[in-house]
């Protein structure tokens, strides 16, 4: 029996196979002749199958021709990628318009309070008036 260990990547597997074959062959002498022959043929078939190179398996190729109406088709994909962008821009424009309206209404309230108040608008620019407001708020 050849005990040389091959230097391939599956050297451990081959060594295990050789030891297993030696042990099976040792017990083969005590078996009846017909069972021994069937085992010998089965071993020969296993060795022949082991020596065959593995066949490469390729994935099936799917070829699509023409225009598709499915959701993964050309125009649907383009429309589906543009719709979120349009929604985002519309949302930003809506937020900007609402903030401008709120700011304008706040300024209108301040202007109407200034114009309808008891003090003239020039009083608000007087430095002494600012001191008066500070002193008045401190006393409260």
- Residues 81-137 have pLDDT tens digits of 899 999 999 999 999 999 999 999 999 998 888 888 787 777 778 888 878 778 877
Q: Which of 14, 16, 1 is nearest to 50 (CA)?
A: 14
For residue 23, being part of any structural domain is answered with: yes
CA 30: distance to chain centroid?
Answer: 62
For residue 123, being part of any structural domain is answered with: no
Q: Is 66 left (phi over 0), alpha (psi -120 to 50) or beta?
A: left
Report pLDDT for 63.
64
For residue 38, being part of any structural domain is answered with: yes
For residue 137, being part of any structural domain is answered with: no
Count of C-beta atoms within a 10 Å radius of residue 68: 13
Q: For the chain, how many structural domains are there in total?
A: 1
pTM: 0.36
For residue 136, being part of any structural domain is answered with: no
Would you place residue 56 in the very low, low, confident or very high pLDDT band (cuts 50, 70, 90)? low
For residue 74, being part of any structural domain is answered with: yes
Contact 31, 40 (CB under 8 A): no
For residue 22, being part of any structural domain is answered with: yes
For residue 120, being part of any structural domain is answered with: no
Residues of the domain holding 58: 7-106
């Amino acid at each position: 029996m050849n005990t040389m260990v091959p230097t391939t990547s599956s050297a451990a597997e081959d060594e295990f196979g050789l030891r297993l074959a030696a042990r099976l062959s040792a017990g083969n002498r005590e078996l009846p002749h017909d069972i021994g022959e069937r085992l010998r043929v089965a071993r020969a078939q296993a060795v022949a199958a082991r020596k065959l190179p593995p066949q490469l398996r390729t994935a099936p190729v799917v070829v699509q021709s023409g225009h598709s109406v499915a959701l993964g088709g050309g125009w649907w994909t383009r429309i589906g990628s543009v719709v979120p962008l349009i929604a985002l821009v519309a949302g930003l424009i809506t937020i900007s318009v609402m903030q401008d309206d709120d700011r304008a209404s706040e300024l209108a309230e301040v202007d109407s309070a200034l114009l309808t108040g008891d003090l003239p608008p020039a009083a608000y620019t007087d430095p002494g008036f600012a001191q008066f407001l500070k002193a008045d708020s401190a006393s409260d």
